[in-house]
Amino acid sequence: MTRQQAELLLKTALANPAAQFRDGQWQAIDALVNQGQKLLVVQRTGWGKSSVYFISTKIFRDRNMGPTIIVSPLLALMRNQIESAQRLGLVAETMNSTNVEDWRSVTARVLANQVDCLLISPERLANDSFIETVLTPIADRIALMVIDEAHCISDWGHDFRPDYRRIVNILRQLPAHTPVLGTTATANNRVVADIQSQLGEIQIQRGQLNRESLALQTMWMPDQASRLAWLAQVIPTLPGTGIVYTLTIRDAEQVALWLNQNGINAKAYHGSIEAEGFANSNLYRQQLEEQLLRNQLKVLVATNALGMGYDKPDLSFVIHYQAPGSIVAYYQQVGRAGRGIARAVGVLMSGVEDQDIHEFFRHSAFPGEVQVNEILQALALSDGLTIRALEEQTNLRQTQIEKVLKLLSVENPAPVIKLKSLWRRTAVAYQMDQARMRHLTAQREQEWQQVQNYLTEPGCKMNYLRMALDDSQPEPCGKCSSCLGYPVINPIPDALLAHQAGIFLKQAEIVFKPRKQVAPSKADTTRAFPVYQFPRLLGELAAEEGRILSRWNDAGWGKTVAAGKHGGHFSDELVQAMTDMIRVRWQPNPAPAWICAVPSLRHPNLVSDFASRLARQLQLPFFNLVEKVKNNQPQKGQQNSFHQCRNLDGAFAVYQPIPNGPVLLIDDIVDSGWTLTVIAALLRQHGCGPVYPAALASTSVHD
Amino acid sequence: MNLSSAAQAIMLLTCYFGKASNDSVKPLSNGEWGRFALWLKDNMLSPADLLVANPQPLLASWNDNRITTERILLLLGRGHSLALAMEKWHRAGLWVVTRSDSDYPKRLKTRLKNDSPPVLFGCGNKELLHSGGLAVVGSRNAVQSDLLFTQQLAAKAAAEAVTVVSGGARGVDEAAMLGALSQGGTVIGVMADSLLQAATSAKWRQALMDGKLVLVSPFYPEAGFYAGNAMARNKYIYCLADSAFVVHSGPKGGTLHGAEENLKQQWVPLWVKPTTDPEATNALLVTQGGHWYPADSQAFTIDMLFSAPASAAMEHSVQEEQQQLFAPADTSEQLAVTDFYKFFVISLSKLAAKPVTAEELSARTLLHPSQLNHWLQRAVEDKQLILLQHPVRYQYMKNSK
């Protein structure tokens, strides 16, 4: 294959008879198709890496070879990518969690040699049953593997992901003559060196980063109300569309809601967002990406789940509501703006909560040694366990168990492996690598420090970013707030808007979704509730939808609730807040006729006192009809559903007679929601009307 | 573990990386690989040389009806399959030894030559593959007393630091392996199927982690049971050992087949346990060259099984004589007591097959001269030896009992 022949393919792909290879494109194709090399390409987004792998695929297919596998966190190829593949006569298919129902037909077509490019997500490649059923049957003929966003391979990368660790281990086993293409737009020297050391013989091709159109600005704004106000006043003044990044799912939803209330067409985007009419989160996310692409939204309010590689050349602003954990992550996100337009802005805001959130991320990045050993111990005594069985045997959260198993199973060799549906202990000795975890944590702290330095950087902001990415540029950008000597956008929030934002934050209650099912099987249900003997599906016994006033310690009422809990008394302010929430915003229908409190032996008066004052305020009778009859373990010590249920079994008794009508069931802090679920079920068993749970704060990690 | 290039090439040419399907290219069999490897050698090529973007020119002079160049090229093109499979196997704690690796077991190479498997998958202590030992084989459906016997035989081997080699199947195999492990002994299990499953099972896990056990298989580690593989696996059990013991051989099936193959190929001495089972083919194996297991409960040591007896003395029929040696009550004492004189006499069957002087015997046995003289005198009195004069020499009496 010569350059001329390949260039003809490029002209076809781009439908442009004048098209010529950009710097490095032909060299990359040549390395893959003529020399069977392994290659890491570090090029800015929009450079045209998809041309490289589509043309290479075309050449391999013409040689009668098998398909190309593209491993990418993207949910789908971008529209322009699909179009250029089509022009080359290539059939591209996607397999990820969004289209499980298509897997069978796609697999059949791949096996029948009708697919040229298969796009799969990294988490698919880390899934043994996917590899076994889909990939292995076609793997003999795979011509090329492409690893998108290859910087995720590196420990040093800002965005190291366990699934990529599995990918590295696969790449390491590839023989010398099997070509691989890794691509990334953001990798500094250390990341490149790390990838090189992990993969051995791999060629590096590096291009220039450039964002000539981007005007950067930073703002330290401690309180959320000010930041919300600023967003609401600034976004309508910005041309075009953009992205607001938040650190947490809850913030994404809250900011989106606020912007909408202020007449801005915004939608929240995060890893678990759902919407009616969409079978799953991924399908809805694709729709959101599409809407932004078509300018049907002003702004997406997103966590970092907004896919890497999301390419909208005319995106005109990226604003961070909270600061990300590293400069590389920031560059990658802010770099989405202004790719194909003359002017775009990137504003980094940072508030008081950022520090705590990153601290939490760092702290929860690795599971504790005790948990790891507990799980290994349970597995060692068996010939394989399900996650549910591990919950019973360990009293660890399901998410903790999954995290431990993930961490352990990406080791190579690994102490655990999933065969069929069971997790099995291998004969591999395991010791947690504390030194490596300390190293990674220290790395994260250093990266966070770099972000804080950026916030106060007096010199050219763009050069600061470039330096951190080892792409130093002696010339200042001339566009950022430092170069200008004045703000790109006025940083002062409107006082009235800030006041309204403050109220908004205090009215940001959480919907309590009642549990409808006790356990996945009848046997599990029986073991969980030997005394109460609830049915597996609660049905009529289930609570209604409820409300939780705040998130524990949040910027709304969360801090007041925490202070009340510690001081042994919830203030009248909270009674009023709760009253407003119920009367003004929630308005449960049919309306509650009486009030009841969740009992406690440890703090017998705290909740009942609050509930009785609330009852007075709502002008409803308060009947303390539920009694705690067993001095059980603190519920917060129960880490998973099985143990949470077991601990509550037989703990409560209900007095007769039960008043008529719906009841408001009051608790202070909600975590798993099992206490409210169990008491509601008991009340219902005793003939009670609909049960509306309401609580002051949620500590659930899922919110 | 990163494989060497040569190992990668051998695996690409000879291994299955997934369940076989009709349209996938068939890896080379042991024999086919043997032929191809020979050709590579003759052409001064290493398997690693084939791992280039276009290996076709290297294969220009290759010509074989069964193994087309196209097949070789397709096999070599399975790099992604290799990587996906190796990542999983390595993650599960399995390793690979190929014929190009220095730690490939020499016993297999020497005994099987070109027929030795090009790739061995394994888990556990790789070193054990070089330890030799006693192969213990027998039926899957053995009776309880045979299982008990097997367990105790293996325990005795363990006590004498002799590695037990077996097939990992249920019945005699498993009894032998668990018997040896329970006494802290070392074990080689040659698996015919499901290596991956076995390597993660509670039964073997601790021994694997303690370095007491190696499980090894020449087959795709995720293969299910297949009688052909079970048959083919037997030869590796014998060839990894130095001596073999058949506890019970049924009228047909793997044990009989394997033992007959061993006798025919004369890999290792074959010992057979007497049995009262009329269906058993134990006696048949003795007529084909196996030896009855020396039933003298006082004198027996595992060590005795490592040289073929020259005398019929030890092969007295003991059909009725049930072995008390491994009766559960007295194992510990039995293991401790060994009659060295008896061992000496057995050794004489070889050492003094022709007349020898006391000096020569002293040099061969390293016994102290006074001890040697004492035992020689006793052996003459026992009519085990004939005393020859001018010069004074001793000769083993062939018909002695």
A118, A178, A408, A419: best to mutate for the B interface, most B CBs within 10 A: A178
CA distance B291 to B133: 17
Contact: A170, B25; criterion CB under 8 Å: no
Residue B385's CATH number: 1.10.10
Min Cα distance A37 → chain B (Å) is 8
CA distance A314 to A293: 9
Is residue A360 domain-resident?
A: no
For residue A182, report the phi and psi dihedrals to the nearest 5 degrees: -105, 140
CA distance A679 to A599: 10
Same domain, A638 and A660: yes
Same domain, A16 and A108: yes
Above 80 in pLDDT, residue A205? yes
Same domain, B364 and B327: no
- B30-56 pLDDT tens trace: 989 999 999 999 999 999 999 998 999
Q: Which of A466, A494, A522 is the last residue of a domain?
A: A494
CA distance B76 to A572: 77
Nearest CB to B196 within list A176, A419, A428: A419
Same domain, B300 and B386: no
Residues of B in contact with A170 (CB under 8 A): 83-84, 87
Which residues 26-55 in chain B show a CB within 8 A of chain A? 51-53, 55
- A102-126 pLDDT tens trace: 888 988 898 888 999 999 988 888 8
Same domain, B312 and B346: no
Is residue B100 domain-resident?
A: no
Same domain, A395 and A529: no
A70, A136, A405, A421: best to mutate for the B interface, most B CBs within 10 A: A136
For strands B119-124 and B95-98, give the pairing.
Answer: antiparallel
Q: Which residue has the tokens 């008081």?
A: A352
Min Cα distance A168 → chain B (Å) is 9
**Tokens describing residue A321:** 């509501």
Contact at 8 Å (CB) between B365 and B340? no
Above 50 in pLDDT, residue B331? no
Which residues face A573 on adjacent strands?
none
Contact: A424, B200; criterion CB under 8 Å: yes
Contact: B205, A425; criterion CB under 8 Å: yes
DSSP 3-state assignment of B201? Answer: coil
Contact: B76, A177; criterion CB under 8 Å: yes
Contact: A173, B2; criterion CB under 8 Å: yes
- B226-274 pLDDT tens trace: 888 989 999 999 999 999 999 999 988 889 999 999 999 999 999 999 9
Same domain, B205 and B304: yes
Residues of B in contact with A1 (CB under 8 A): none
Mean pLDDT of A547-563: 90
For residue A215, report the phi and psi dihedrals to the nearest 5 degrees: -105, 120
Same domain, B27 and B166: no
CB count within 10 Å of CB A377 equals 12
Is residue A562 domain-resident?
A: yes
For residue A68, give the amino acid letter: T
Same domain, A150 and A282: no
Rg (CA), chain A: 28
Contact: B92, A414; criterion CB under 8 Å: yes
CA distance A233 to A251: 18
Residues of B in contact with A411 (CB under 8 A): 91
pLDDT at residue B316, rounded to an integer: 40
Same domain, A168 and A253: no
B12, B200, B212, B222: best to mutate for the A interface, most A CBs within 10 A: B200
Is residue A703 domain-resident?
A: no
Answer whether B90 touches A (CB < 8 Å): yes
Contact at 8 Å (CB) between B185 and B157? yes
CB count within 10 Å of CB B202 equals 14
Contact: B81, A142; criterion CB under 8 Å: yes
ipTM, two decimals, is 0.80
- B5-17 pLDDT tens trace: 999 999 999 999 9
CA distance A67 to B22: 19
Nearest CB to A427 within list B8, B17, B124: B124
CA distance B123 to B189: 10
Contact: B2, A172; criterion CB under 8 Å: yes
The DSSP secondary structure of A393-449, one letter per residue, reads HH---HHHHHHHHHHHHTSSS-SEEEETTEEEE-S------HHHHHHHHHHHHHHHH
Mean pLDDT of B382-399: 83
Highest mean pLDDT among A617-621, A631-635, B248-252: A617-621
Same domain, B139 and B262: yes
Same domain, B256 and B295: yes
Contact: B208, A427; criterion CB under 8 Å: yes
Min Cα distance B78 → chain A (Å) is 4
Contacts of A652 (CB under 8 A, 6+ apart): A599, A626, A627, A628, A629, A630, A678, A679, A682
Contact: B200, A382; criterion CB under 8 Å: no
Is residue A501 domain-resident?
A: no
Residues of A in contact with B122 (CB under 8 A): none
**Measured torsion, CA atoms of residues A597, A599, A605, A606, in degrees rounded to the nearest 10:** -70
Same domain, B309 and B346: no
A59, A177, A180, A410: best to mutate for the B interface, most B CBs within 10 A: A177
Min Cα distance A25 → chain B (Å) is 20
Confidence band, pLDDT 50/70/90 cuts, at residue B308: low
Above 70 in pLDDT, residue A226? yes
Is residue B111 domain-resident?
A: no
- DSSP secondary-structure letter at A606? H
Mean pLDDT of A435-442: 87
Same domain, A545 and A653: yes
Min Cα distance B272 → chain A (Å) is 34
Contact: A175, B9; criterion CB under 8 Å: yes
Residue of B nearest to A425 (CA): B200
Same domain, B282 and B191: yes
pLDDT at residue A210, rounded to an integer: 66
DSSP 3-state assignment of B114? Answer: helix
Residues of B in contact with A419 (CB under 8 A): 196-197, 200
Confidence band, pLDDT 50/70/90 cuts, at residue B329: very low
Distance of CA B347 to the CA centre of its chain: 24
Q: Which of A206, A230, A251 is the last residue of a domain?
A: A206
Same domain, A475 and A513: no
Q: Which 3-state string (H, E, C) describes B203-261? A: HHHHHHHCCCEEEEECCCCCCCCCHHHHHHHHHHHHHHCCEEEEEECCCCCHHHHHHHH
Contact: B201, A141; criterion CB under 8 Å: no
Same domain, B166 and B275: yes
Q: Which residue has the tokens 């003044």?
A: A237
The total number of structural domains that make up chain A? 4
Is residue B113 domain-resident?
A: no
End-to-end CA distance of chain B: 57
- A285-320 pLDDT tens trace: 889 999 999 999 999 999 988 866 678 889 999 999
For residue A475, report the phi and psi dihedrals to the nearest 5 degrees: -80, 130
pTM of the model: 0.79
How crowded is the C-beta side of B252, counted as CA atoms within 13 Å? 1
pLDDT at residue B240, rounded to an integer: 97
Residue from B103, B115, B118, B326 nearest B238 by CA? B115
Which residues face B245 on adjacent strands?
B136, B271
Q: Count Cβ neighbours within 10 Å for each residue of B390-401 and write b for 16 or more, e otherwise.
A: eeebbebbeebe
Answer whether B4 touches A (CB < 8 Å): no
Is residue B104 domain-resident?
A: no
- A236-289 pLDDT tens trace: 999 999 999 999 998 999 999 999 999 999 999 998 898 999 888 888 988 999
Is residue A40 domain-resident?
A: yes
Residue from B288, B290, B296 nearest B313 by CA? B296
Same domain, A427 and A521: no
Same domain, A146 and A249: no
pLDDT at residue A307, rounded to an integer: 67
Is residue B102 domain-resident?
A: no
pLDDT at residue B296, rounded to an integer: 61
Is residue A673 domain-resident?
A: yes
Contact: A409, B91; criterion CB under 8 Å: yes
Q: Which of A206, A227, A250 is the last residue of a domain?
A: A206
Above 70 in pLDDT, residue B332? no
Residue A223's CATH number: 3.40.50.300
Min Cα distance A186 → chain B (Å) is 27
Nearest CB to A175 within list B74, B79, B124: B79
Same domain, B283 and B355: no
List strand residue ranges (DSSP E) for A78-149, in order: 92-95, 117-120, 144-147
Min Cα distance A499 → chain B (Å) is 57
Rg (CA), chain B: 24
Q: Which of B91, B111, B138 is the last residue of a domain?
A: B91
Range of the domain at B287: 126-336
Same domain, A180 and A201: yes
Which residues 50-79 in chain B show a CB within 8 A of chain A? 51-53, 55, 74, 76-79
For strands B385-388 and B393-396, give the pairing.
Answer: antiparallel
B1, B12, B80: best to mutate for the A interface, most A CBs within 10 A: B80
Min Cα distance A23 → chain B (Å) is 24
Is residue A502 domain-resident?
A: no
A124, A134, A140, A142: best to mutate for the B interface, most B CBs within 10 A: A140
pLDDT at residue B342, rounded to an integer: 79
Is residue B389 domain-resident?
A: yes
Nearest CB to B83 within list A128, A173, A381: A173
CA distance A74 to B321: 76
Range of the domain at A175: 3-206
Residues of A in contact with B74 (CB under 8 A): 140
Confidence band, pLDDT 50/70/90 cuts, at residue B355: confident
Contacts of B170 (CB under 8 A, 6+ apart): B140
Q: Report the alpha-carbon angle A47-A48-A51, nearest 5.
A: 165
pLDDT at residue B42, rounded to an integer: 93
**Of all residues in chain A, what percent are helix, strand and coil, respectively (each to 5)?**
45, 15, 40
Above 70 in pLDDT, residue A594? yes
Nearest CB to A142 within list B76, B80, B87: B80
pLDDT at residue A399, rounded to an integer: 85
Same domain, B286 and B383: no
Same domain, A167 and A28: yes
The total number of structural domains that make up chain B? 3
Residue A417's CATH number: 1.10.10.10
Residue B300's CATH number: 3.40.50.450
**Tokens describing residue A308:** 């890497």
Is residue A442 domain-resident?
A: no
Same domain, A516 and A485: no
